[in-house]
Structure 1
Amino acid sequence: MSRENNHAVEVSLSRDLGLLDITMIGVGAMIGAGIFVLTGIAAGHAGPGLMLAFFLNGIIATIIGSAYAELGSCFPEAGGGYLWVKQGMSDMFGFLSGWMSWFAHAVACSLYALGFGSFAAELYKIWFGTPPVEQHLFAVGAGVAIAALFTFINFRGASETGLVGNIVTSIKIFILLLLVGFGLVKIFGNPTSFEHYTPFLPEGWLGVFVAMGLTFIAFEGYEIIAQSGEEVKDPARNIPRAIFLSIVIAVTIYLLVAFVVLGAIEPPPGVPIYKYLGQLGELGMAEAAGQIMPYGKVILLLAGLASTMSALNATIYSSSRVSFAMGRDGNLPDIFGRIHPITHTPHWAVFISGALIILMAIALPIEDVAASADIMFLLLFMMVCYSLITLRERRPDLDRQFMVPFFPYLPWLGIILCLLLSLTLFELSPIAWYTALGWILAGVVIYFSYGVRQRERRAAEERPILLEEVVAVKEYSVMVPVSDLGQADRLGELGAILAKVHDGELFALHVVRVPRALTMSEGRVLLKERRHVLDLAIAKGKQYDVPVRTMIRLGRRIGETILQTARERKANLMLLGWPGYTRSRDVAFGSVIDLISKDPPCDLAVVRFRGAWQPPKRIVVPLRGAGLNARLALSIARDLQTFYADPAHGGYEVEVQPLHLRLPSTDARETEQFYQMVNRVADELGVRISAIEYEADNVVDGIVEASHDADLIIMGASEQGLFEQRLFGNIPEQVMRRSPRTVVMCKAYRGQVASLLRRLFTPEPIDLTDPELHGLKKENA
């Protein structure tokens, strides 16, 4: 909740991701580039004990994941470990967790870039022969080039959509399961294959621990699930479930892959399989696939390229967003927190992160790069586990729908195991530890020399809240989504009038569309230029002494966010403004209005204003029946009649004239039925009417001509079948386009059953990501 002009303004986020979506995010992050790049290297250290290393890593990941599940369920916001450590430990450790997370993600990007380069060099060798330069230099050059390319792509704002991410993840799983299938057939078809698993621990337990530390980066995808918490439906339930599901799926696949890779291939004479895989390094998986299944090496190399590119894109995004969040919070220089005016991306954070990624890829071998990333992640997970312990004591009020069992023993066990794993990596790469310690020391220096001073400056600039307004809860709510000052002025006045009659509230909503280039939380930087839109709606509420509730909501899709808000807040009537043109010829009123009219969660009125709102003295209500839409039109006319009859608001009689059109096909019996119907409905609704007739050749001309001297036209939407795509139909649309008078189009809420059927069977309108509320561009003639 924020305050603008001493008025409470609620800022809310739209939640779009279900259990399947976030489970696939976690699985995609874990079954990623790590399994393709590190399996061979880790096998060289652990031998067949690699399976034990994967299993034990799975147990540790479950322990750490349970901490993420508890904290993610009670803090379903972006930030993840950075937010939790800041609350559970201190500002300094919160800063260090963000600083280390930035480095860890950047180094992970370097690992993926080097993996891509190695795969690309090997494919070049297969298809075209020896590379023009030494193969290692070719691999590093290709890795630097792909890192630079995806840095530019992230600057431009392109990002992998959920659908594309799910497809890539499904392809990776399919290829690995295909490899497992061929491998199992080969192993069980050759009884001597089981001799490959002895001795099980050729390098002892130290080799297992080194392999665990080296490959732990492949188990940290559950962190991304927690970071997606602000966009998850029912996060308290779905975040823990997704974390554990993704860990189980990933560990199962890892164990199967390790089993077939170590048992199904034939090394050179006299060389143990695990030594052979270790010598091949990051190409170990590809060589194993080449022996296990037809065209396996090329398939694995191509899959590795796709996986490393996908991981690189996602991890550059994560790395730059961590530094962007720290710059926005004042922990890093302001340049990190700047947003590009055109691409809406944190361009400096992206470029600086890209430079760090390229530097690490050039400076360190692939094993050292992997070890550096693992050390940072393990230290970060230690801080998260400790924060879980302290937050249980400091914040017992938090709604913990999932709680870590065997508390506090399990999180303490997680801390100890992470510490031991990180220490074993000194055996593999001392330089990785020196690099990690140097980065942490630099972070401490920056925190005390810059971060503290910046926070003190910002705290001094903040002004205290002197007055807060509390909005009384009302039974009747008129919801007014507004996108600009004109809508806020006119819709706000009409909404306030209708709310006043029902002793209700005016609920003004402004939706800020967050592009895919930003996370939902980062979209808050777009709010500062949008809050003034609600000021006019607030003023209109005060003008008529109507309570005003305001909300600024962030969402990917404006129409769906409006629908979600109306359902959550149980609005009774929604007013939408239409400027009189659409962006596409395939929709009636624009993608947003068409989406809402397809499945309105409450009564809906679409208004096309002709100038400013003027108190009406004559309202024409075209009627063709007594359906729900017609009754809603008469009800709104009655409300305006009641409002202006009050001496405080003019004290005059508004003439409400139901219109009966006599077309060439109309007979006297239809006219008589019209008068009977309209008098009965008017009596039921309590509206004073004086019905009129008008002769016309067609409906649209008749309505426009009969209302030429009216102040306002209110008409019900066309009563059409269940399966139509544009529920307002052609006649209402043409009247709104052609009439010089302000026109209100009404569609009544049909109840939950009809609403569900419409959602199931009515096609979606096109162009759901239209960046403006009711269309931007006028159609060409």
Structure 2
Amino acid sequence: MLTHELQLPLETYMDSSSRQMTLLGATGVGVGAIVGGGILALAGTAFATTGPAAVLAFLFNGVIALLTALSLAELASKFPQSGGTYTFAKKALSVEAAFAVGWVVWFASVVAAVLYAIGFAHFSLVVVTQLWQAFAGEVPNWIESSSLKTAGAILTTVLLSASLMIRSAGGGQLVNVGKIIVFACLILAGIVATTQQSSAEIVTAFDPFFTAGIGGLIQAMGYTFIALQGFDLIAAVGGEVREPSKTIPRAMILSLLIAIAIYVPLLLVITAVGTPQGQSIAEAAAANPEGIIAVAAQDFMGPIGYWLVIVAAVLSMFSALEANLFAASRIARTMAVDRTLPSAVAAVRGPHHLPVIAIAVTAALVSLILIVLPDVSAAGAASSLIFLITFAIGHALTFLVRRRSHRRPPPFKTPLFPLVPILGGTACLALALFQGFAVPSAGAITVTWLAMGGLIFVALFRTRASVFDVSTTAIDPELITLRGRTPLVLVPIANPQNALAMISLADALVPADVGRVLTQTIVVPPPDWKPEIDDDPIVRSQNVMREILHASANCGIRIESLTTVSPDPMREIARVAKLHRCESVLLGLNKIADVRSASHLETLLGELDANVVVLRSRKDWEFADVRRVLVPIAGRGGHEHMLALLLGSMQRTRPLEVTFLRVLPKSAHVDEVRRAERDLHRLAGDLCPSSKVDVVVSSDAIATVTHRCDQSDVLILGVQRVGRRKKLFGDFTRAVAGRTDCPMIVMSRRG
């Protein structure tokens, strides 16, 4: 016999319990991702598109970003775990929809990291080139080669990833301070230069303000909104933030305000004093869109201005790369925790529980894209499109979660609700549509990546992810409400002694504050029944109803009751279940081993299109006393979802000692035993991480299970399936039921 306690770290399945990041650190993640890189890369495009009105383009985008930050901050305060928009979608939508969101957001963050890695390598080589020319003369061709730029980007990515594996960080605080100081110097120097110009010169610099009308302004907004992306990364690392319900909203808004406070003044002074003589800012930007800020700074500060911009670019690209690697790895790890990526990616190491495998996988994907697609402009546009779409989804989720959070409203509430999510979501969706039409390849890349992810999900992750999702929902039933569901469990009761056990089990499966428990008593009339003479069937039904009401009152469980009359109880149960669209049906059967008693129930199982749970209990048995649970497993039998529901419901209300048991014949090869042990460990990890796993080699499986029943409070088994509509308890279940009086729960999933 092989017996192993499943001892996996809790952090492998849950967010890290170590919340080290303060308001300063969380704000640093946002500032590191937002400030610098976007405006240096896109200011020229904005000026060329709409002229001096580029200032308004960035300002209006800032307003949209603030609206989005408010919505995401509300969601992050409600769900203070890592993962960002993926986590929000997982809470309020299906696991399939959450995977789609997480898959594309992870890709978008990875591509953003690729862009910043290339940018850092580019500006670093600019510094090297300038210094080489100054001290050594002619620059060798190999320094300016694209291969060196790619190698530098990969090396930087690898080194940053290695640093993230040994320390809990993500914003690069010193780098953030450095680049803010550089931008402050540029702005102050520009203000000083502005004071030295006449009013007429300043007015001329801003005339015409709109070079392409309102349409040009909207185009500039579409091109440059991504320059303010990065505040959402704070939510993506929310599981590592102290006092997240307060810190995350403040950090999001603060990081955006810092970015706007830098961007708007910088664009104003560049327009006012950074235009070459005889040129408008639009003309200068059209001639050199990527270097407009450096050229403008050189115009009013001399060579030192040019070098300040280069330094700001190097620092900005570095901090943005670090922030995106940091956040993308947390998104990947959160998805792995939920089994929507390989569970090995969820592993954490060290005293700070750092997700080293998620970091390594993210860095590897960044490096691969750098090698395969050195020119990633289209992928960058796809990243922008994805962020805009997910921001629109975030606004919609804020609306849904606020409406459905009856039990626990978000600690931070978006002001002017629902105006903020409506306006913000509409604006993000409009910008996404613009991006899709402006760069059609962006949409093609997004659809291709999503289709590839869908195939991978269906082939590799769907089963485990859906099982884990059922378990998570059972442990936290508020998720049922957040997803807009109101499940109904039907509980037909014929034996009054079973009322307490049946109702308490039903309430565990579907708590009253998220669903409904409907008890059913059936008056079974005998042939030629005359109620005015023979009222025994009615009296029996009343006795059952009396016990149901007593049990409900004693347990404090709210129920609804239904009494019907039918000569065929099984068909009546099926009729009521179908009529009320019951999600689950809970049945009681004291004599599973009796072929005649069980056969009637088996006929019912074939007719029900609902999850079915059959309870066989003792007279003195109470579900609330269950602590030791035995779960024999004969392989993947299709009952994992129901098992996840049962165990998750039990774990919600009490600590459990769950034993997963697999019995193999003595002829089993050692490799078969090891494989069974590995599969059982994986199943146990999905359903109950603290459980015990036993693989037993025995010639008598029934005797082995029966012996273990003596040490358990309840035995959970699955119904054997024969064909699509016929379901049998099977000889094994009947044999075990005949040899032990241990309470049994036999389950069958719908379909």
Query: TM tier, shorter chain?
Result: 0.5 to 0.7
Q: Tell me whether 1:125 sits opposite 2:129 in the alignment.
A: yes
Shift of 1:339: 6.0
Task: Write the deviation string for residues 709-737 of structure 1: whole angstroms up to 9, x where unpaired.
Answer: xxxxxxxxxxxxxxxxxxxxxxxxxxxxx
Q: Report the Cα distance in structure 2 between the residues aligned to 1:451 and 1:164, rounded to whole angstroms.
A: 32
Q: Report the Cα distance in structure 1 between the residues aligned to 2:202 and 2:371, rounded to whole angstroms.
A: 38
* Contact 1:71–1:84 (8 Å) recurs in 2: yes
Q: Tell me whether 1:174 sits opposite 2:357 in the alignment.
A: no
Q: Tell me whether 1:393 sits opposite 2:399 in the alignment.
A: no
Task: Write the deviation string for residues 92-135 of structure 1: whole angstroms up to 9, x where unpaired.
Answer: 22111111111111111122122223313332332224653388
Q: Report the Cα distance in structure 2 between the residues aligned to 1:202 and 1:394, rounded to whole angstroms.
A: 47
Task: Write the deviation string for residues 661-708 of structure 1: whole angstroms up to 9, x where unpaired.
Answer: xxxxxxxxxxxxxxxxxxxxxxxxxxxxxxxxxxxxxxxxxxxxxxxx
Shift of 1:249: 2.1
Q: Which of 282, 290, 299 is the matching residue for 1:274? A: 282
Task: Write the deviation string for residues 452-479 of structure 1: whole angstroms up to 9, x where unpaired.
Answer: 233356672858269769899xxxxxxx
Query: Residue 240 of structure 1 corresponds to which residue in structure 2?
Result: 249
Q: Report the Cα distance in structure 2 between the residues aligned to 1:224 and 1:281, rounded to whole angstroms.
A: 28
Q: How does 1:11-22 map to 2 (within 5 A)?
A: 13-22=17-26
TM-score by length of 1: 0.54
Q: How does 1:470-509 map to 2 (within 5 A)?
A: none
Q: Report the Cα distance in structure 2 between the residues aligned to 1:286 and 1:306, rounded to whole angstroms.
A: 15
Task: Write the deviation string for residues 115-159 of structure 1: whole angstroms up to 9, x where unpaired.
Answer: 223313332332224653388x63564244223432354146446
AA at the equivalent of 1:40: G
AA at the equivalent of 2:287: Q
Query: Residue 417 of structure 1 corresponds to which residue in structure 2?
Result: 427
Query: Residue 217 of structure 1 corresponds to which residue in structure 2?
Result: 226
Match of 1:190, SS? coil
* Contact 1:184–1:260 (8 Å) recurs in 2: yes
Change (3 A) 1:363 1:16: closer
Q: Report the Cα distance in structure 1 between the residues aligned to 2:241 and 2:164, rounded to whole angstroms.
A: 22
Match of 1:464, SS? helix
Q: Report the Cα distance in structure 2 between the residues aligned to 1:470 and 1:329, rounded to whole angstroms.
A: 22
* Contact 2:27–2:254 (8 Å) recurs in 1: yes
Change (3 A) 1:300 1:397: same
Q: Which of 322, 332, 335 is the matching residue for 1:326? A: 335
Identity of aligned residues (%): 27
Q: Report the Cα distance in structure 2 between the residues aligned to 1:469 and 1:334, rounded to whole angstroms.
A: 23
Query: Residue 53 of structure 2 corresponds to which residue in structure 1?
Result: 49
Q: Report the Cα distance in structure 2 between the residues aligned to 1:362 and 1:144, rounded to whole angstroms.
A: 12
AA at the equivalent of 1:170: V
Q: Report the Cα distance in structure 1 between the residues aligned to 2:267 and 2:254, rounded to whole angstroms.
A: 20
Change (3 A) 1:427 1:274: farther
Q: Which of 97, 100, 113 is the matching residue for 1:96? A: 100
Q: How does 1:687-706 map to 2 (within 5 A)?
A: none
* Contact 1:131–1:138 (8 Å) recurs in 2: no
Q: How many residues align?
A: 474
Q: Tell me whether 1:31 sits opposite 2:24 in the alignment.
A: no
Change (3 A) 1:357 1:163: closer
Shift of 1:275: 3.1
Moved more, 386-395 or 35-44: 35-44
Q: Tell me whether 1:368 sits opposite 2:372 in the alignment.
A: no
Query: Residue 464 of structure 1 corresponds to which residue in structure 2?
Result: 647
AA at the equivalent of 1:286: A
Shift of 1:15: 3.7
* Contact 2:62–2:260 (8 Å) recurs in 1: yes
Match of 2:209, SS? coil
Q: Tell me whether 1:293 sits opposite 2:301 in the alignment.
A: yes
* Contact 2:120–2:317 (8 Å) recurs in 1: yes
Q: Report the Cα distance in structure 1 between the residues aligned to 2:15 and 2:326, rounded to whole angstroms.
A: 24
Q: How does 1:175-574 map to 2 (within 5 A)?
A: 175-191=182-198, 192-267=201-276, 269=278, 271-294=279-302, 295-334=304-343, 336-337=345-346, 345-347=355-357, 350-351=360-361, 353-356=363-366, 358-359=368-369, 363=373, 365=375, 367-426=377-436, 428-456=438-466, 460=640, 464=647
* Contact 2:381–2:439 (8 Å) recurs in 1: yes
* Contact 1:69–1:239 (8 Å) recurs in 2: yes
Q: Report the Cα distance in structure 1 between the residues aligned to 2:440 and 2:89, rounded to whole angstroms.
A: 27
Q: Report the Cα distance in structure 2 between the residues aligned to 1:142 and 1:322, rounded to whole angstroms.
A: 28
Change (3 A) 1:117 1:430: farther
TM-score by length of 2: 0.56
* Contact 1:340–1:347 (8 Å) recurs in 2: no
* Contact 1:98–1:326 (8 Å) recurs in 2: yes
AA at the equivalent of 2:329: S
* Contact 1:210–1:427 (8 Å) recurs in 2: no
Match of 1:267, SS? coil
* Contact 1:107–1:370 (8 Å) recurs in 2: yes
Shift of 1:212: 2.0
* Contact 1:49–1:208 (8 Å) recurs in 2: yes
Change (3 A) 1:162 1:86: closer
Query: Residue 614 of structure 1 corresponds to which residue in structure 2?
Result: none
Shift of 1:251: 0.9
AA at the equivalent of 1:127: L
* Contact 2:108–2:382 (8 Å) recurs in 1: yes
* Contact 1:4–1:531 (8 Å) recurs in 2: yes
* Contact 2:165–2:359 (8 Å) recurs in 1: no
Task: Write the deviation string for residues 633-652 of structure 1: whole angstroms up to 9, x where unpaired.
Answer: xxxxxxxxxxxxxxxxxxxx
Q: How does 1:500-649 map to 2 (within 5 A)?
A: none
AA at the equivalent of 1:386: A
Query: Residue 77 of structure 1 corresponds to which residue in structure 2?
Result: 81
Q: Report the Cα distance in structure 2 between the residues aligned to 1:391 and 1:145, rounded to whole angstroms.
A: 44
What is the Cα-based RMSD across aligned positions, in Å? 3.8
AA at the equivalent of 1:138: S
* Contact 1:70–1:404 (8 Å) recurs in 2: yes
Change (3 A) 1:363 1:467: closer
* Contact 1:40–1:280 (8 Å) recurs in 2: yes
Q: Report the Cα distance in structure 1 between the residues aligned to 2:348 and 2:191, rounded to whole angstroms.
A: 52
Query: Residue 607 of structure 1 corresponds to which residue in structure 2?
Result: none
Q: Report the Cα distance in structure 1 between the residues aligned to 2:652 and 2:92, rounded to whole angstroms.
A: 32
Shift of 1:344: 6.3
* Contact 2:164–2:170 (8 Å) recurs in 1: no
Q: Report the Cα distance in structure 1 between the residues aligned to 2:147 and 2:207, rounded to whole angstroms.
A: 36
* Contact 2:16–2:240 (8 Å) recurs in 1: no
Query: Residue 731 of structure 2 corresponds to which residue in structure 1?
Result: none
Match of 1:282, SS? coil
Q: Report the Cα distance in structure 1 between the residues aligned to 2:139 and 2:329, rounded to whole angstroms.
A: 33
* Contact 1:389–1:408 (8 Å) recurs in 2: yes
Match of 1:13, SS? coil
Unaligned runs of 5+ in 2: 471-639, 656-684, 694-751
Match of 2:172, SS? helix
AA at the equivalent of 1:96: A
AA at the equivalent of 1:186: A
Match of 1:281, SS? coil
Q: Report the Cα distance in structure 1 between the residues aligned to 2:437 and 2:649, rounded to whole angstroms.
A: 59
Query: Residue 714 of structure 1 corresponds to which residue in structure 2?
Result: none
Query: Residue 678 of structure 2 corresponds to which residue in structure 1?
Result: none
Match of 1:78, SS? coil
Q: Report the Cα distance in structure 2 between the residues aligned to 1:337 and 1:250, rounded to whole angstroms.
A: 33
* Contact 2:114–2:370 (8 Å) recurs in 1: yes
